Amino acid sequence: MGITCGHMELQSSLDIYNGRPAYHIVMTARNSDFFNRIHKVDGRIDSWIDAESETTVAYQSLIEEKGEVSSKSYTVSSAAGTVVAVENGTTEKILFEPNTPVLDPLAYLLRLQVQAREPGASVALTLLTGDGAVETIAHVGEVDRRRTSSGPRDLLEVRPMPADGEMFSRKGEVTLWIDPGDGGRLYTVDFKLPFGHLKAHLD
């Protein structure tokens, strides 16, 4: 039986960033009132993706957990292969192969929505993490009838993982459920954890 532990909102728009057209993605998340009494979590993540090169140019997150605030910001230069990462006031430079389109986690979801449309296909993308750029392969499964906030729909199962075949975490994995016939709309993000599943259903 599922328990609603919080709410997440995901929005996107076409803006201007540093004088160039960029997709701006915003994710906000908060616990339900009940879970806030146990472990309060509120957060906002902003991502800007250059519309022409389709690579992340900036990423910011501000998370409050149990009264403590954590902040991150990435400024990305794909041409130079550098990320200036500022985490809780500490600055670090992360290097990757120059001219490689890299995607922060929110941008990664956006690109999978666009590219993961064919059953049995594989999509290669580079995910930007705090440890650098990680080559990934997302495998597209078959169409399955799934419950969504809009009623039952035929969705594609998409499972991303690093290109070396290892899962993102030894203790869990993530699965996306995407409607290939509805503009690649993302309906569900399912995190498989040691104690069960944490599912985000998008309205």
pTM given for the model: 0.78
Q: Order of strands, edge to edge, in the sheet holding 20-31?
A: 6-17, 20-31, 41-50, 56-65, 68-77, 82-87, 90-95
- 1 inside domain: no
Question: Does some domain include residue 64?
Answer: yes
Instruction: For residues 112 and 168, give the distance between their C-alpha atoms in angstroms, rounded to a whole number.
Output: 16
What is the count of structural domains for the chain? 1
Cβ neighbours of 10 (radius 10 Å): 18
Please classify residue 92 by burial: count the beta carbons closer than 10 Å to its beta carbon, then call 0-12 exposed, 13-18 middle and 19+ buried: exposed
Residue at 20 is within a domain: yes
pLDDT computed for residue 169 by the predictor: 47
- Contact between 76 and 133 under an 8 Å Cβ cutoff? The reply is no
Q: Which amino acid is at 106?
A: L
For 95, half-sphere exposure in the C-beta direction (CA atoms, 13 angstrom radius) is: 0
- Distance from the Cα of residue 107 to its chain's centroid: 6
Per-residue pLDDT of the chain (203 residues; tens, 9 = 90+): 455 556 677 788 999 999 999 999 998 877 655 545 554 567 889 999 999 999 999 999 988 876 788 889 999 999 999 999 998 889 999 999 999 999 998 899 888 888 888 899 999 999 988 778 889 999 999 999 988 877 898 999 999 888 776 545 444 578 888 998 877 888 888 877 655 666 677 76
Sign of CA dihedral 129, 106, 159, 65: positive
How far is the CA of 121 from the CAs of 103, 149, 151, 157, in angstroms?
20, 26, 26, 11
Answer whether residue 39 is part of any domain: yes
Say how many residues make up the chain.
Answer: 203
pLDDT at 165 (0 to 100): 61
Q: Is residue 34 part of a domain?
A: yes
3-state secondary structure 169-181: ECCEEEEEEEECC
Rounded-to-integer distance, Cα 184 and Cα 110, Å:
9
99 occurs within a structural domain: yes
Greatest alpha-carbon pair distance for the chain in Å reads 49
Q: What is the pLDDT of residue 166?
A: 55
Range of the domain at 89: 6-201
Residue 23, pLDDT score: 94
Q: Please check whether residue 72 lies inside any domain of the structure.
A: yes
178 contacts 158 by C-beta, under 8 angstroms: yes
Is residue 56 domain-resident? yes
Q: Return the closest-CA partner of residue 20 out of 63, 57, 62.
A: 57
